[in-house]
Amino acid sequence: MSQPDITLYTCQTPNGIKISIALEELGLPYKVEKIDISKNTQKEPWFLEINPNGRIPALTDTFSDGQKIRLFESGGILTYLAEQYDKDYKISYPKGTREYYEMTNWLYFQNAGVGPMQGQANHFVRYAPERIEYGMTRYTNETRRLYGVLDKHLASSKSGYLVGDHISLADISHWGWVAAAGWAGVDIEEFPHLKAWEERMAAREGVEKGRHVPSPHTIKERLKDQKTMEEDAAQARQWIMQGMKADAKH
């Protein structure tokens, strides 16, 4: 195993904490560079050198050939960490096993389904400058449908995790999103198995450590207070709309 020389470029979002949770579960040393997305730091040239897509998370490491490797896309980074550093299969499964492919299956389900759809729900429920009932319903319902798929799958899981007999990338990639369900207008109480899984995950030491990177993870507490939530949304709405305008100019 090569010596890790990892720098994680991140901020407090469901996608960012996937990586810090994985790093904590693996017990790897890493440096953190906080990216301020409210100041559009992720669109600055130095960051675009690391991730041309201008999104967090991104990660750099010294690769086994001695050269620097730059990675983006949370799913790509998680797979890299597992292949490079998870020799004891703490958060993954050996290549070629059924569990390995099933883990990849749920990892894509998160990256192509839950993340994008819940993200759109967040947009229409919290950030859009005008209230578009149809947009809100469309994406909240699709998120609920996807949660239903997870809930049904977890109902029959013997280990309480999505794949096999222990935690894996499949669970890690979902947790931050499910913990923030209320922000997208989805009531987690509708999904008892998923709710129990979320709490089981939250009780893990690695999840607890990783979720507070680079700043405290407070979404669960904030969701309990309607007023703070509205204020947070109003503040975020402002810089998100500015960012969208800046993107559109290119």
Partner 1 sequence: MTKLNTKPITVWLTPSGPNPWKVVLILEELQVPYVIESFRFNDVKLKPYTDICPNGRVPAIVDPNTNLTLWESGAIIQYLEEVYDTDKKLTYESLNKRQLLNQYLHFQMSGQGPYFGQAGWFNVLHHERIPSAIERYNDQVKRFLEVLNTCLEGKAWLVGDKCTFADLSFVPWNCRLDMLLQTPPGEDPLAKYPNVQAWHHRMVDRPSWKRCMEVRDKLMDDQGLMPNGMPKGINNIQEYEAEIAREAAEKGKE
Smallest separation, CB 215 to partner 1 (Å): 24
What does the angle CA 147 – CA 148 – CA 154 come to, to the nearest 5 degrees?
A: 90
Residue of 47, 85, 93, 109 that binds partner 1 (CB under 8 A): 109
Nearest approach in angstroms of CB 71 to partner 1 is: 6
Measure the CA–CA gap between 176 and 115, rounded to whole angstroms.
10
Please, how many CA atoms are within 13 Å of residue 178, restricted to the half-sphere of its CB? 29
Q: Is 123 in the site for partner 1 (CB under 8 A)?
A: yes
Strand 30-34 relative to strand 58-62, pairing: unpaired
Judge residue 17's burial from the number of C-beta atoms within 10 Å of its C-beta, 0-12 exposed, 13-18 middle, 19 or more buried.
buried
Question: Which of 11, 117, 121, 184 contacts partner 1 by CB under 8 A?
Answer: 117
Q: Candidates 4-12, 24-32, 68-76, 216-224 — which segment interacts with partner 1 by CB under 8 A?
A: 68-76
Number of chain positions touching partner 1 (CB under 8 A): 52
Indicate whether 143 belongs to the interface with partner 1 (CB under 8 A).
no
| Contact flag: residue 248 with partner 1 (CB under 8 A) | yes
What is the phi/psi pair of residue 68, to 5°? Answer: -75, 140
String of DSSP letters for 15-83: HHHHHHHHHHHHT--EEEEE--GGGTGGGSHHHHHH-TT--S-EEEEE-TTSSEEEEESHHHHHHHHHH
Pick one of 1, 46, 94, 95: the residue that binds partner 1 (CB under 8 A): 95
> Residue 247 interacts with partner 1 (CB under 8 A)?
yes
CB of 162 to partner 1, least distance (A): 12
Give Cα 184 to chain centroid, integer Å: 14
Interface ranges with partner 1 (CB under 8 A): 52-54, 63-65, 67, 69, 71-77, 79-80, 83-84, 95-96, 98, 101-102, 104-109, 111-113, 115-117, 120, 123, 128-130, 132, 134-135, 146, 149, 152-153, 244, 247-248, 250
